[in-house]
Chain A
Amino acid sequence: MKLELGNIIINDIQFTNEGSKVENGVLTVNPEQIKSLVLEDSNIESCEVFIARPGESVRITPVKDVIEPRVKVEGPGGIFPGWIAKVDTVGSGRTNVLKGAAVVTTGKIVGFQEGIIDMTGPGADYTPFSKTYNLVVKMEPVEGLKQHDHEYALRIAGFKVACFLGELGRAVTPDEIETFEFDNLVESAKKYPDLPRVAYVQMLQSQGLLHDTYVYGVDAKRTLTTIINPLETMDGAIVSGNCVSSCDKNPTYVHLNNKVIRELFKAHGKTLNFVGHIITNENVYLADKERSSNWSAKLAEYLGCDGVIISQEGFGNPDTDLIMNTKKIEAKGIKTVIITDEYAGRDGKSQSLADADPSANAVVTGGNANQVIVLPPMETVYGHLHFVDTIAGGSANNIDAHGNITVEIQAITGATNETGFHNLSAR
């Protein structure tokens, strides 16, 4: 299978009263078009649209999701199968990408644990989305909307806006085309008989109520561990339904641009043979944890792996899934490297993980999420600033008289991402 990503490099977003378009690297958006699209959903009461550029004195909070605008221009399937497109298999043909742009959804979100994106200042270093040109879509629900319906409405609205923007790039000639090819097991074994066989085991957050992830529209907590083609993941098969403790949750943008997959493709055929992508969940029940990790190990063995990279999503309870996966896969004689993050306390002195095992001897960490940071006031806030004392990582009275906010970096979207999307680490 072969997938081409046609990157249209976006250097700015502008508003217009006329038709939205992509031209000369500028994404021009008519906000009224966005609003009417969002308000098609009768569960959404109001919608406002803003632009947040890198370096601007802007804070976006609470962040629900970050989504990359894309359009399928060749081949089967469409963007976000199971949600926007039908469930045809994606991962082949060509998809055009508005590279450098993102849709960021905000508004009164259902929980109390959503993230912060600062476009400048010390907080900007901690989020990858201070470097993207963001179209911020703020949405408020109709009164009395239940939490799950609220989450669903916001999630779908974000996808719709991203697809609307992506569509603007359909006829645009991409600035660059990236080509990814993934052979079946037999062919890749013939091509690279001497290279170590490596798979990616991706743990998908599936603890329920704002902790869910979806594959081709299916709730990951209702799935058995399975094998997916990494090109399908790169082409939008997995989407985010969670944003709690946003430092180590994967927005949809991160799934589309999964860096473990990209790094494995870089090494493929040179230092390793990338043979598969295993997706497993992080359910809360012990039987589910045991079953899912049994299947991870079984599938890694079935693929004939010499090694795997395991990425986690979240912390605490999923630490047990992480360690079960690691122990069982290592027990098959397959070498593992795991990517996690730490909750070592504000002073960094506590135990970092809730579970541990000596077989987990190769760990990449996204850093200590409890680290405290002071975020200076921004000129503009898109969303609702008054949640910052209740979001995960915030605390009571954490805004001082000058508007400085004291939070743990776990409140910052993507700060300690466990798919290795960002550069933060700890020792």
Chain B
Amino acid sequence: MAKIKVVHYVNQFYAGIGGEEKADITPELRVGTVPAGDALNKAWGEEAEITHTIICGDSYFGENMDKASAEIMEMVKSTGADMFIAGPAFNAGRYGVACGTIATNVKNTLGIPVLTGMYVENPGADMYKTQIYIVATKDSGAGMRDAIKKMAPLALKLARGEKIEASCVEGYIPNGVRVNLFEKECGAARAVKMLIAKLNDKPFVTEFPMPDFDRVEPNPAVLDMSKATVALCTSGGSVPKGNPDRIESSSASHYGEYDITGVMSMDGDHWETAHGGYDPVYVNEDGNRCLPVDVLREMEASGRIGKLHNKFYTTVGNGTAVLSSKAFAEEYAQKMINDGVDCVIMTST
């Protein structure tokens, strides 16, 4: 059987071109591999080979999605590859979204098998896990070996059109398609083990997660905004210059509470962003782009709102676990309730 020809997509960082400062580079098709591709080639031996690598900056892709997609699609087509692999993107949000978007497009447009890999909480995972196979990776590049170990065999199976087993066997993120498997132990033994773990507050993995019930019903409308106290919150990382509470640029461990009494605008001399997942230049120039204090002050002055709450709450959404975010919000929501806040504008980035 002929060697399976694979084309590989990576961002500027995994191509060794640079970090955030190079995130605007346009798509480029190269013959050969980058280190992640070398690892895949090594794992495949004579079975398959990455012949081409496509490199694109995360910002460029994010800001020019349609154009970038079309350009990349042409590049994939020109290689005549049998298979397309993107990433792994680990917990890099924009990279994950790019991998998912392109892989899904390739699958739907060119009809060749595709595979990517990312951390389960990467936004790209939720967006695309039901459309393409996404191998579950660790949350940083330190998990590359582990990711390759799972991606290489699954890629071969996909390329050969072989039967794909259950997610827990193959290592992909559960995609909503239930697949049967034979366990080593009978169900009763598994149930008793699971109960003992649950009783002892030890981790356990349910075999069937209940459908997602975390739906938030919107509160009733605030009828009279002219009397309402409005608070601002953000996951965009707005902090006083110097980031005094050291909110992490990724996977935040805490949130910040900052006083804006008398602050009319989030000017660049006093405010910045701690967020490591987007180009900070514009928010650092003018913090109102993330936290619109200037507009709210105008509304306060004109009487359209009662008043702007004198504190805002902020964290970094980048790579931050949903459960952490939930815990933060539960805590500061209570603070706002205690302070008589009537409504909240939450901005994301």
Contact = CB atoms under 8 A, between A and B. Distances in A.
Contact of B207 (A258, A271, A336, A363): A363
B295 interface: no
- 10 cross-chain pairs, A with B, having the tightest CB-CB distances, nearest first: A420-B187, A420-B188, A259-B188, A348-B178, A344-B178, A427-B166, A363-B208, A337-B195, A263-B192, A348-B177
Interface of B: 166-169, 174, 176-192, 194-196, 198-200, 204, 206-211, 213
A427 B206 contact: no
Contacts, number: 150
B211 A351 contact: yes
A260 B192 contact: yes
B210 A357 contact: yes
Contacts of A267: 192, 196
A308 to B, nearest CB: 8
A358 B208 CA distance: 11
A362 B188 contact: no
Given A263-B188, A364-B194, A425 B206 contact: no
Contact of B210 (A342, A360, A427): A360
A264 interface: yes
Given A263-B192, A349-B176, A366 B206 contact: no
A426 B192 contact: no
A245 interface: no
Nearest to B189: A263
Given A264-B192, A421-B188, A426 B207 contact: yes
Nearest to B174: A427
9 contacts: A259-B188, A259-B189, A272-B196, A272-B199, A349-B177, A363-B209, A364-B190, A365-B187, A420-B190
A259 B185 CA distance: 11
A202 B195 CA distance: 15
Contact of A262 (B178, B184, B188): B188
A423 interface: yes
Contacts of B199: 196, 198, 272, 306-307, 335
Contacts of A184: none
Nearest to A308: B195
A424 B192 contact: no
Interface string A394-425: 00000000000000010000000111111111
Nearest to B168: A427
B176 A425 contact: no
Contacts of B194: 337, 362, 364
Contacts of A368: 178-180
A187 interface: no
Given A368-B178, A368-B180, A420 B186 contact: yes
Contacts of B207: 363-365, 425-427
Contacts of A336: 195
A361 interface: yes
A281 interface: no
A309 B210 contact: no
Given A337-B191, A358-B213, A426 B196 contact: no
B177 A361 contact: no
B186 A358 contact: no
A357 B213 CA distance: 8
B179 A348 contact: yes
Nearest to B204: A362
A143 interface: no
Contacts of A426: 166, 178-181, 207-208
A306 B191 CA distance: 15
Contacts of A271: 196
A417 B194 CA distance: 18
Interface string A360-390: 1111111110010000000000000000000
B198 A260 contact: no
Contacts of B168: 427
A206 interface: no
Interface centre among B192, B206, B207, B213 (most CB of A within 10 A): B192
A347 interface: yes
A352 B191 CA distance: 19
Contacts of B210: 356-358, 360-361, 363
A340 interface: yes
A245 to B, nearest CB: 16
B189 A420 contact: yes
A339 B189 CA distance: 11
A365 B185 CA distance: 12
A125 interface: yes
Nearest to A261: B188
Contact of B191 (A309, A358, A361): A309
Nearest to B182: A423
Contacts of A362: 194-195, 198, 204, 206
B208 A340 contact: yes
B186 A421 contact: yes
A425 B181 contact: yes
Contacts of B180: 367-368, 371, 409, 424-426
A44 B213 CA distance: 53
Contacts of A196: 196, 199-200
A420 B187 CA distance: 4
Contacts of B209: 363
A393 to B, nearest CB: 14
B187 A366 contact: yes
A367 B179 CA distance: 8
